[in-house]
Structure 1
Amino acid sequence: MAESTEGIELLIRAARPTNAYEETMQRLLQSIRLGMIGPGERLPAERDLATMLKVSRDTVREALATLAEAGYVVSRRGRYGGTFVVERIPQGSALGGSATMPGAAEVEDVTTLRRVLEVGAAREAAGRDLSAEERAALAHTLEECSGSNAADHRRLDSRLHLLIAELSGSTSLVPLVANLRTRVNALLEAIPMLQPNIVHSNDQHEAIVSAILAGRPQSAAEAMLEHVEGSSALLRGFLTRH
C-alpha cells in the first residue's frame, strides 16, 4: 500500500489555524471523506504530516487518535505499518453534527456557492496554460471518476472537482471548495443514488474537462454551470416541498 501525500497537500493550503487541533482534524477528515486519501491508503508519517500542516507532532498524534476512535483510520505495526484509512469509511456523523434532513434553504445556499466557486474554478482552470503533468492528472482523475462504481462515485467525483479548483491557480480556493464539497455530499447522501444520474453526471464531467483541456474558459464555465444546475434540480426534487 503506497503512501499518499498528494491529496493531503491539496487540502491544507489555508491560513494558520486559530485552533491547531480542530483545524488538523478538519483537514485530515476532509481529505479522507472526500477521497483524497482513499480507503486502504496509508497516510504520511506523523512528522511529515506535522510539517505539511504546520502543527506539532503532538497535535497530529492527537488528531489521528481521534480519527482512529471514530473509525476512520487504523494503525498497523511492523515493516509495512503506519496509519491507514479504513476500507469502509463510516457513514453519517461519527464525529458529531446534525442529522436533520436538509431543506430548501441549504440546497439554495449550496447551489449559489457552487455557481460562484466551482463555475469560476472551471473558467480559471481553462484559462491557464496547464503543464503536461496537470493535464495528465486531470485526464486520469476524470477516467477514474467515470469508471467508478456506485460505492466510490461520490469520493472520486469530489476528487475531480477539487482538482479543478487546484488547477484554477488559486491556493485559497481549494479549502473553500473542500468545505463546499462536504456540504454537497451531505445533501447527496440524503437522496437515492440513481444510475441514470451518474451516467448524466459523467457526461457533464467529460464536457467540463474537455473544455478545460482545450483552453475554452467560457465553455468550461457553461459546462460546469449545467452540471451544478442539474445536481441542484435533483436535490430540489427530493428534498424540497413545492
Structure 2
Amino acid sequence: MKIEPVQEWQIATVTSVNVESPRVKLFKLELGSETKFRAGQYFDIRLTAPDGYQAQRSYSVTSSPEDARTIELAIELIPDGEVSSYFHEYVEPGDQIELRGPIGGHFTLSPNFTKPVLLIAGGSGIAPIISMLRHRRSSTRVAPTAVIFSARTESDILFGTELAEMSDEDPNLHLTITLTRSKSESVATSSAPRETRRIDRPMIDSTIDSLGEQPARAYVCGGTDFVETIGNHLLDIGMAYDDVRTERFGP
C-alpha cells in the first residue's frame, strides 16, 4: 500500500461565500502557497479555539485542479457539527482558515482516462464528482461519462444549472438526477422534470445503456449506506472490485 507523505498545515484566506442550497454553502479559499491537487482529492480543515481546543473535518474540493492557488469547498451544515456550524454561522470573506492537503489518491480521475466512466453521487457526495466534471469540461480528451445524482428535494440539487449545461453541450455526457422525496415535499427550483425514486439496479442498468457499454470504472460518493448499496449493485452487474472507487462521508 502506498503511504502518502504527511501534509503540512497552511493558512488560506476566504475570498467568497455563496449559498448553494438551504444546507450547503460554497467557500472559495486562496491558498497560502501553490498547491497542486487532483480531481477527487480533499483537504483537512482545522479550527482552534482560544483555549486550545481543536476540531477537524475533511472536505472534498469542488473546483477544477487547473488553479493551484484557489480551491472551492462545499460545506453542508450538519446538526451539532462543530466545523460546519462554525463555517455557516461565522466564516466570511477575509477570514483565515488553517488547512492541509491535498489528501487521497484512490478516488481521483484524470482526463487522460478515456474509457467509459460512471459517476454516482448522493447529496453532498457530488462534491468530488463536480471537480472531476469541471476538469473534464476543460480538457480536450474526454471519456464517455454517465452521471447519476440523487438529492432529497429539488432545492437540494447542488450545481444543478452547471450540470445541466455540461450535459446539454456534450453528447458524451449523460445526466440523470433523481429525488428521494415526493414532489409534494419538494420546493421546485426549476421546470426540469425529475424522477422521485432512489437509485436502484434498473436505473443503473438504464444509465449504462446510455453509455453503450459497461463502464471501465465507477466512482461512488455519499453516505455509508448509500455507497454500500450502490457498490453492491455495481459488483452484481460484473464490475471488478478494483474498478469501483468509493468515498464515504458522515457527520
TM-score range, shorter chain: under 0.3
Q: TM-score, normalised by structure 1?
A: 0.28
Greater helix fraction, Structure 1 or Structure 2: 1
Greater strand fraction, Structure 1 or Structure 2: 2
Q: TM-score, normalised by structure 2?
A: 0.27
